[in-house]
Amino acid sequence: MPNLSGGCLCGDVRYSVSNDPVVTSICHCQQCQKQTGSAFVEVVAVNEGDFTVQGNLQSFTYAGDSRRKKHSKSCPRCSTTVFIEAEGFPGRVLIMGGTLDDPSWLRPTVALFCEAAQPWIASEHEMTEFLRMPT
């Protein structure tokens, strides 16, 4: 099992996961681009019951590109988005890949919202690609 621990930039929020991820993916949706300030986000989906978080969090709720609610959980001190809880993934926690202590093992297997991908993005991995969120 990979090292599934991590946290925010300032260290006030820490998390750990006691089991393997359900799926690893990248998301190209416009909300993820805006939220991360990047072209996409790496996501590690884990079962909610396997996820433990320490520290205070603030929550921001918005409608994702799929029109379903997403609850972004971030550190109130440094503003790092640590994870998301999304209606489209019930019972799962979507960890932002960049918050992992060791992201070197991360190999996404699924790419979401590929229709919103920046034109200069080239995939070097074999992934299942979806133009939008699969239903």
For the ranges 22-36, 37-51, 120-134, the maximum mean pLDDT occurs at: 37-51
Q: Give mean pLDDT, residues 66-78.
A: 92
**Listing from the earlier edge strand, what are the strands of the sheet with 5-7?**
5-7, 14-17, 51-54
**Listing from the earlier edge strand, what are the strands of the sheet with 23-27?**
58-63, 69-74, 81-86, 92-96, 41-47, 23-27, 110-112, 128-129
| Domain 5-129, CATH | 3.90.1590.10
Q: Give mean pLDDT, residues 89-102.
A: 95
The strand pairing partners of 52, in sequence order, are 16
Q: Could you tell me the CA-to-CA distances from 123 to 12, 30, 111, 119, 126 in Å, in that order? A: 34, 18, 9, 11, 8
Place 73 in a pLDDT band, splitting at 50, 70 and 90: very high
Q: Give mean pLDDT, residues 34-44.
A: 87
Q: Give mean pLDDT, residues 113-128.
A: 74
